[in-house]
Structure 1
Amino acid sequence: MKSVFSIALRTSMLMVLFLSGCSANQKFHNTTDFAVKDIDTYSSTEIANFNAHFLGDVTTAYCENSSNPDRLIDIPSLSSMTNSLKLQVSKLGGNVIVMKQCGIINYLSCAVYLECNGEAYAIDRGL
């Protein structure tokens, strides 16, 4: 019963954090902002319409080991995790990301585990 209560409490706290936008939004410098904003997001179906060059997989993860509620405030937002993926795409020389998954995943050694995965592509925008 205690573990069900713990899971319910943890899930409720996470939902409040995500719905409030999370106070731990990652701040980027101007050059990083530009790199992240320059990356478009397409679905797997949409990318098939382009002559796209696959550059590789990109991933980011966050594990919080503590179940202390004060520590849960520092959980990154899904937006900041997506920006981390976009920055990786930019560093690979790409301009498009196809998101595969992004969210909370059950991982036994973490009180909270977030993971985002995607694929980096370069397409000719004809500029």
Structure 2
Amino acid sequence: MANTRKVISLLTVTGIVAGCSGLEFRTNIGPYTESRLVSAAVEIYSPTEISRYDAVTLGNVEATACQERPDEPVASRAELVRQMKMRAHRLGGNGLVIEACGKTTLGVCQTYIECHGTAYSVPQRQTRP
């Protein structure tokens, strides 16, 4: 009787393991980690700071967020800056000058946030004091 229980237990465990062999485990840790690493690779500069480098202008970047309903989370300036850093990185940049960020109401948005900036490729060393 004890051997029969062991065999049944072994067959049950084997069946469970075999049945789960096709399972996939997916998370968003890849995109989350990538966005954090990319945004960390792009540094924020003031207009005065960027003028000390022979930086190459790559283009304008912007980010916007609309809170349509009061129960939705309000987008933060930090989140918009992170999005702009990712866009600057996609342009080949490692620097960003934020020119303007502001909140307003717009159409269906309870709160509308908009940020504008310029992406730069910034050399490692300053060329001007």
Q: Whole-Å Cα distance in 2 between the matches of residues 30 and 80 of structure 1?
A: 15
Candidates 46, 50, 55, aligned match of 1:52: 55
Please give the secondary structure, in 2, of the residue aligned with 1:31.
helix
TM-score for the superposition, normalised by structure 1: 0.67
State the partner residue of 1:83. Answer: 82
Q: Which amino acid aligns with 2:96?
A: I
User: What one-letter code is carried by the residue in structure 1 that aligns with 2:56?
Assistant: H
Larger Rg: 2
Query: TM-score when scaled to structure 2?
Result: 0.67
Give the RMSD, CA atoms, in angstroms: 1.8
Corresponding residue for residue 97 of structure 1: 96
Q: CA deviation at 1:56?
A: 0.4
- Map Cα deviations across residues 30-53 of structure 1 (whole Å, 9 max, x no partner): 222111101111111111110010
Of stretches 29-38 and 89-98 in structure 1, the one that deviates more from structure 2 is 29-38
What corresponds to 2:121 in structure 1?
122
Match status 1:64 vs 2:67: yes
Of all paired residues, the percent bearing the same amino acid is 29
Quote the Cα distance in structure 2 between the aligned partners of 1:43 and 1:70: 35
Alpha-carbon deviation of 1:109? 4.3
User: 1:70 deviation in Å?
Assistant: 1.7
In the alignment, structure 2 segments of 5+ residues that lack a partner are 1-28
Runs of at least 4 residues of structure 1 off by over 6 A? none
Q: How many residues in Structure 1 have an aligned counterpart in Structure 2?
A: 96
The SS at the match of 1:29 is helix
Aligned partners of 2:110 and 2:41: how far apart in 1? 34
Mapped partners of 1:32, 1:63: distance in 2: 21
- 1:41 corresponds to 2:44: yes
What's the offset of the Cα at 1:102?
A: 1.6
Distance in 1 (CA, whole Å) between partners of 2:112 and 2:33 is 29
Partner residue in 1 for 2:5 = none
Q: Structure 1: where are the runs of 5+ without partners?
A: 1-26
Structure 1 partner of 2:4: none
